[in-house]
């Protein structure tokens, strides 16, 4: 994934989870995405999902993993989330 594709996918990511994280967390996730701070964006998103005990789909997990891999970040944090098929 090139930088342009990474930026596009990271920028679009928060909207998929707006109904599963608190409005305040969503604001922080969006702010990090707008600022190009994608590792922080994903950290905040994962923490919000975990705090709310919110499940994610296998497709969503794979999307987040692809972004983490493209950034060279570990994806083991995803193991703490509930994933549905």
Give 67: exposed, middle or buried? Use CB within 10 Å, 0-12, 13-18, 19+: buried
pLDDT value of residue 35 = 93
For residue 21, report the phi and psi dihedrals to the nearest 5 degrees: -130, 160
Q: What was the pLDDT predicted at 3?
A: 87
Range of the domain at 28: 3-84
pLDDT value, residue 85: 80
pTM of the model: 0.90
Q: How many structural domains is the chain composed of? A: 1
Lookup result for tokens 């923490």: 47
- The pLDDT, as a whole number, for residue 82 is 92
Q: Residue 1: what pLDDT?
A: 84
Q: Which helix (H) or strand (E) holds 83?
A: strand 83-84
Q: How confident is the model over 24-64, as pLDDT tens digits?
A: 999 999 999 999 999 999 999 999 999 999 999 999 999 99
Among 31, 51, 40, 26, which residue's Cα sits nearest to residue 73? 40
Helix (H, G, I), strand (E, B) or coil at 19: coil
């Amino acid at each position: 994934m090139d930088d342009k594709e990474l930026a596009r996918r990271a920028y679009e990511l928060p909207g998929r989870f707006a109904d599963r994280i608190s409005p305040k967390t969503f604001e922080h996730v969006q702010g990090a995405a707008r600022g190009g701070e994608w590792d922080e964006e994903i950290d905040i998103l994962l923490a919000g999902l975990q705090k709310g005990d919110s499940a994610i789909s296998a497709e969503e997990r794979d999307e987040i993993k692809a972004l983490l891999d493209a950034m060279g970040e570990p994806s083991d944090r995803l193991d703490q989330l509930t994933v549905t098929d």
